[in-house]
Each structure stands twice: as structure tokens, then as C-alpha cells.
Structure 1
Amino acid sequence: MDQLLMKKVEITTSISVYDSIDELPKEVFTLMNKAIEAKKKAYAPYSKFSVGAAFYLESGEIITGNNQENAAYPSGMCAERVAIWKVSSEYPEAKIKILAITASSSSQVLKEPVAPCGACRQTLSEYELKQNSNVEVYFMGEEGKVIKTNSISDLLPIAFDKSFL
């Protein structure tokens, strides 16, 4: 009987796929290279999985972050959250326009795009809601394709937010 009362809702997400970093718009190419540089400074002695993130703010400022691990693994922090909290602490009123993310592993060459983890999606989602405007997200592995979403909500379409509290 419950099936008769059920309403089906379909949620779709559209992504763009670039074959390589070289196809990105100039501004995003520069931002992704900042993420690559940030990734090189990651501290990942346990997972051997390095991530770099770079935010492009409406002001033109670029803020980067990288993952930071410690011996109390997994209590380290992901690159996206390191960077977003840096944005929030240094530029609390800033609007974020674009996020670029890249990752690499010492055990294999990552040729597929690496999307943010669930905890990062939740944190990023709150900032997008707070600023009331979309943040474009570009993500890649070490080489190969780059995926673009038009907003963080494309990565987490049914998010938990302050309206539930």
C-alpha cells in the first residue's frame, strides 16, 4: 500500500568533462596549477595520497590548501576543508567563485578525476549556501580528464544544512 502513496522524484546532475588540464579556460588552468603546487606540500606519510585544493575568490584572490595527516590517523584534514576554513578565517565575507582539486598517490598514477569526500562535500555545501551563489568545481587525478560541476550542490544534491537545526 505504501507504494501507492510514494512519489518518485528524479534528481539529475550535469557535468562537463575536459580531456586534459590543457583544455581548461585560462583562469581555471591557472587555478588548477595552484592546486597542483599545493598538493606538492601535502603531508600524507600514512595514506601516501596527496591532495591539493585552490579557491578562486570573487576578489581575484587565490587560497590553497592540502591534506594534513598525523599519527592519530585518520584525524588529519582534507585539502578542501583546510582551504575553505582558511578562506573563512581570513576572508569571512568573501564569495568563492571556483574550486580546483587534484590528487595523486605514490602507489599508482591517478588518471581518473578524484571528487571530494563526503565530509568535504558537506562542509563545502554549507559555504555555498551561506554565500547564496554557486561555486564551480573542477577536479582531476594526477593526469587525464578534468570534471567540472556548476555547483557544489551538484555533488551533494540533498544536503543537511542549518535549516534542520
Structure 2
Amino acid sequence: MKEVKIETRLEVYDKLEELPQSIQDLMKAAIEARDTAYAPYSKFNVGAAILLDNNEIIIGSNQENASYPSGLCAERTAIYYAGAKYPEAKMLTMALTASSKNQVTDKPIPPCGACRQAIAEYEVKQEYPIQIYFMGAKGKVVCSNSLSNLLPLVFENSVL
């Protein structure tokens, strides 16, 4: 038997203004996207912005449906649009922000499990890590230099 230790390293910033200006701008695009969310059931708005290696910024927001499985998270909305519109471009950085109409969201909110798997698919496809910044509506911002910090034992196509 061999024991394996898995470590996660994240950077935590006390506020958005501590980030480099380019990341602040990307997060502001995610905040604008969050404001376009359609979330009448959960009242939980999420926005995503992805910087591609061609300098395009792709945004997405969560879109709910009365038939819950038919809705789509902000991260996957943005990822799938980027993959469809710019299939050869690498996704470099993703910014995420979430707010609730029911309570103050002042803690960083990471991608859900389904979104982590979708991000992992593109990280594997492009053979390049996607840097992910995430926050609530205000407060601390967390940075992961790769999805592998959030989903260390990724399920990917080499096992199929």
C-alpha cells in the first residue's frame, strides 16, 4: 500500500481591489453577466467571464427553468459558448461571482460539481490550466491556478 497526499493551494484576496487590474476587469464583466441571470426559482444569480488567448472575453449567466434539470449554470453557459464560437482558442482565466436575493453572499462561491467537471474537460482538451477566480457579491476573492485544485482526481477522457 502507498499513501498519497493531495494538496490544494489557493490564493485568497481580502477584496477585489487587491487583484491585478486585468482580473478586476474580468470580474467586473462577470458581475455584469450576473445581472443578466434568469433565476426566478433559486433567486441565486451567478455570472461568469472567461478570458481567451485571443483576448476575447466570453460571458455567461445562470439560466433556470421550471424543469430544474433543463437550466444551466453560468460557468457552463460561458464555457460552451466559448467552445462553440472559438473552438481553437485556449481558455486562460475564468472569473465567477454569485449573489442571492435572499441573503448577503460575502463568502467566495466556487463552481458546483457539474461545472467543475465541465471546466476539467476543457482544461484536459487544451492541455493548459484555467485560472479561476471566484467570489460572492462582495468580500474575499479566491484564486485557483487550475481546476485540479478544486477537483484533484478529475474524470477525463483517457479512462474511456
TM-score bracket relative to the smaller structure:
over 0.9
Gaps of 5+ in 2: none
Which residue number in structure 1 is paired with residue 88 of structure 2?
93
Partner residue in 1 for 2:48: 53
Q: Which residue of 1 aligns with 2:19?
A: 24
Flag as ranges the 4+ runs of structure 1 deviating above 4 A: none
AA aligned to 1:8 is E
What is the aligned partner in structure 1 of residue 138 from structure 2? 143
Aligned to 1:15: 10
Structure 1 distance, partners of 2:70, 2:56, is 29
Q: CA RMSD in A?
A: 0.7
- Counterparts of 1:103-142 in structure 2, within 5 Å, are 103-142=98-137
Which of residues 17, 35, 45 in structure 1 aligns to 2:30?
35
Match of 1:161 among 126, 139, 156: 156
- 5+ residue gaps in structure 1? 1-5
**Paired-residue identity, %:** 56
Q: TM-score, normalised by structure 2?
A: 0.98
The alignment of Structure 1 onto Structure 2 pairs a total of residues equal to: 160
Rounded to whole Å, the distance in 2 between the matches of 1:70 and 1:104 is 18
Flag the structure with larger Rg. 1
Q: TM-score, normalised by structure 1?
A: 0.95
